[in-house]
Each structure stands twice: as C-alpha cells, then as structure tokens.
C-alpha cells in the first residue's frame, strides 16, 4: 500500500503550490494524506469532486468531533474548535447565515464602493508622498481590510493594530500563541458587544445587538463568536490575497501589460488571480457523519476530510494550462471561496476591495516593480492562509 504523503507542506514561492503537491495532485482526485500528528485524512483535490463533496449531506463541520482533522497544532484550542458559522452544521449555521447574508450581499457592498475608493485613494496618496521604496503590506494590504471591516462592524479603528496582530497570531502562531490571541480577541469583542447594549452606535454589531440579541434570537456569547469569525476572516484572507495578487502580477509582466492596456479585464483578472494563488490552501476541513462514496472511494463515517483549493483550482481536467496565469481565461472557475452552504460570507466584499485596490495601484503607479527578488520575500503559512510579511516595491 502506497504511503500517504504528508500534508500540509510549506510554500517556497508566494503564488505557487509547494513542490510536493504535484505528487498529491497526481494521486488524486481523492486520496489519503498524513497530518502533523500522524493521523490520516482523506483529501479531495479534483475540482468537480470538491464541489460534489462540499454539498454532500454526510459532510460535517463539527470540529468538536474526536476525529475531526486538525492540520496544525494551533487549531486544537477550544475556541478554534467551536467557532460560529465555520464549525457549525445546519440548522444553526443556516439561521446565522440568514441573519448575516443581507449585510454582505452584492447590493450591500456595492453601496460601500464610493467609500472604498476614497479610502484606497488616500492610502495611495500616502504611498506616493512617501516615495519609493514602499512596503505595500504595511501601507495598503493590511490597513485596507482592517479599516473596512472596522467600519462595517462598528469596531473602533483605534484598536486595529491589536486585532491585526491578534488575528495573525490566531492563524499563524504557535499553539500557545494562537490560543492566547483568540482568547484576547474574544475578551475584546465581549466588551464591545456589552458596550453596544448600553451605548449603541452605528455598524453591524449594533444592528445585530438590536435586532437579534435584544429580541432573543441569539445570545450575547453567540454574537461574540460570530464577530470573532467576521473580524479574523475579513481581515486575514483579503489582506493576503491583495499582497499575493500584486506579487503575482509583478512577476508576470506580460499579464500585467494586458491590464494596463485594457482595465476592463480587471474583474475577470481578479477571478483568475484567486484561482491561481489560492490564498487559503484548504477550502474545507470536515468530518464524515455518514459514509460518502466519491470518485471510486468510500469515505467512512467518522473519517476526516480535507478539500484542497490549491489543487482543485489547478485541476487540468477543468482548466486548460491550469498552472499558467491567464488573465483572459474565459472561465476561471475556482473554489477559493468554498462551495455550498459554507461558501465565504464576505466574498462580495473581498472582490470589491481587491478590484478597487488593484485599479488604483495600476492607474496611479503604472511603473511599480518589486524592490527585492521574489525569493527574498518573507512568507508564512502552510495549510492555512499564506501570508507575505513585507512587500517592498519601487517605481
């Protein structure tokens, strides 16, 4: 019997999968992988198979299940295993989504566009005033999604450094660092929610307190857990996608030239970048609550399941020249935002943030280039969010 390959593996390039993933993909579309703790889990790598299993009724998000696949020590904490939405199955999950969906709909985020454009324009003003070299992580990729989600939720932006650092530690720290950072965030949000009860302000937190907590639909602690997920997810993944997208464009000058020549390609280009980069290596960690037959395999009840966005997005059975960045690709299908009932709540907001940021940078700093070799960029992340710590550019 062939030994299960190890998962996750570390990236050495910001936008390319680890070298060992080629072997995993070739063994797919469904195979066993070996996790850090020696346990094995099923991994789905095919695009069609990913969409199929993500809508299967026997797939569960209950992280408290003893066999739930943990891909890194930092995800063993009690908070990580009991997150609202992410670690929930219907019907509670569906109820929460029904409360939140209107606030993240395409119509809702389009109303935010003028404000987003003003915010991004201000950041680019500061970058140009400072002059090259500029670190786009510190000057744009990190503060933009932080400010946007602060305003949307009604969280004081004065505290942004605290939750930026804390959310980073939750996603990429050691087990102890992640658990402490998660508890710090819970305590912080707990105080915010309590304040909204006494002194309501503007924003989604105040709305949910008024419309859901005070009516008895959800409890105080439930809202704290929901806000924790929104704060981390909205900041961490969008920040990383923005930085990785810039790097990828600068490293593919022929594709960047297409955008300069025809800015109307930008919406489709963002979908292709999301497909190509796969900021979140995994789009799902699950456990089977009943047998699942897929691609000639039977996943038995109680077995762990992982869905690889990185490999599904580069499935040669779906995409021609799947490993090539092609901003003119007609159908850049991807599962970067997941699929099915757990599909990313904030995907509309993420897309519009990326579109506004890329447009402003390409228009106002057309000669932008990396100030260091791409191999020298500091990268963190394996199996979760890929993060670039610094992105120095010049022009």
- What is the domain-level CATH number for residue 254? 1.10.630.10
Alpha-carbon gap, residue 218 to 202, rounded angstroms: 19
* Beta-carbon count within 10 A of 353 CB: 26
> What's the confidence (pLDDT) of residue 381?
65
Residue 278 falls inside a structural domain: yes
Residue 71 falls inside a structural domain: yes
Let me know: does 289 contact 301? Beta carbons within 8 Å: yes
> What's the confidence (pLDDT) of residue 28?
84
Q: What is the pLDDT of residues 218-241, one digit of tens each?
A: 999 999 999 989 988 888 889 999
Q: Which of 24-33, 71-80, 336-345, 357-366 is predicted with the least confidence, judged by mean pLDDT?
A: 71-80
Alpha-carbon gap, residue 249 to 247, rounded angstroms: 6
Residue 294 falls inside a structural domain: yes
* Cβ-based neighbours of 128, under 8 Å, separated by 6 or more: 364, 365
Residue 11 falls inside a structural domain: no
Alpha-carbon gap, residue 290 to 62, rounded angstroms: 13
* Antiparallel, parallel or unpaired: β 40-44 and 392-394: unpaired
Q: Which domain holds residue 68?
A: 21-394
Alpha-carbon gap, residue 318 to 316, rounded angstroms: 5
384 pLDDT more than 80: no
How does residue 383 score in pLDDT terms, banded at 50, 70 and 90? low
Residue 130 falls inside a structural domain: yes
Number of domains in the chain: 1
Residue 7 falls inside a structural domain: no
Mean pLDDT over 345-374 rounds to 97
Q: What is the pLDDT of residues 109-163, one digit of tens each?
A: 999 999 999 999 999 999 999 999 999 999 999 999 999 998 999 988 888 888 7
Residue 312 falls inside a structural domain: yes
> What's the confidence (pLDDT) of residue 361?
97
Percent of the chain clearing pLDDT 90 (strictly above): 75
Q: What is the pLDDT of residues 173-212, one digit of tens each?
A: 788 888 898 899 999 999 999 998 888 888 999 999 999 9
Residue 338 falls inside a structural domain: yes
């Amino acid at each position: 019997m062939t030994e299960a390959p190890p998962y996750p593996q570390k990236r050495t390039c910001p936008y390319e999968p680890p070298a060992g993933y080629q072997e995993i993909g070739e063994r797919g579309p469904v195979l066993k992988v070996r996790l850090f703790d020696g346990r094995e889990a099923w991994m789905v790598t095919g695009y069609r198979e990913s969409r199929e299993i993500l809508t299967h009724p026997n797939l569960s998000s209950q992280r408290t299940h003893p066999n739930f696949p943990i891909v890194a020590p930092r995800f063993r904490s009690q908070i990580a295993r009991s997150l609202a939405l992410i670690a929930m199955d219907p019907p509670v999950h569906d109820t929460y989504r029904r409360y939140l969906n209107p606030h993240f709909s395409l119509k809702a985020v389009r109303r935010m566009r003028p404000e987003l454009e003003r915010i991004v324009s201000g950041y680019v003003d500061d970058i140009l005033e400072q002059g090259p070299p500029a670190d786009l992580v510190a000057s744009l990729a990190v503060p933009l999604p932080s400010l946007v989600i602060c305003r949307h939720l009604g969280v004081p932006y004065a505290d942004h450094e605290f939750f930026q650092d804390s959310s980073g530690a939750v996603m990429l720290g050691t087990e102890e660092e992640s658990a402490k950072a998660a508890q710090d965030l819970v305590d912080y949000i707990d105080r915010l929610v309590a304040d909204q009860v006494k002194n309501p302000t503007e924003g989604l937190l105040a709305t949910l307190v008024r419309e859901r907590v005070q009516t008895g639909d959800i409890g105080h602690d439930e809202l704290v857990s929901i806000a924790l997920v929104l704060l981390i997810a909205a900041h961490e993944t969008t920040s990383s996608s923005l930085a990785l997208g810039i790097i990828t464009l600068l490293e593919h000058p022929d594709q960047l030239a297409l955008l300069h020549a025809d800015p109307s390609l930008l919406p489709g280009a963002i979908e292709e970048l999301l497909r190509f980069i796969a900021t979140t290596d995994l789009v799902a960690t699950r456990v089977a609550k009943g047998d699942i037959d897929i691609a000639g395999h039977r996943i038995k009840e109680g077995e762990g399941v992982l869905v690889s966005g990185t490999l599904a997005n580069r499935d040669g059975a779906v995409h021609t020249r799947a490993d090539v960045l092609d901003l003119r690709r007609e159908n850049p299908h991807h599962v970067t935002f997941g699929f099915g009932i757990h599909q990313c709540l904030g995907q509309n907001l993420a897309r519009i943030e990326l579109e506004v940021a890329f447009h402003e940078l390409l228009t106002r700093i057309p000669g932008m280039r990396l100030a260091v070799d791409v191999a020298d960029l500091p990268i963190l992340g394996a199996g979760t969010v890929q993060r670039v710590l610094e992105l120095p550019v010049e022009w």
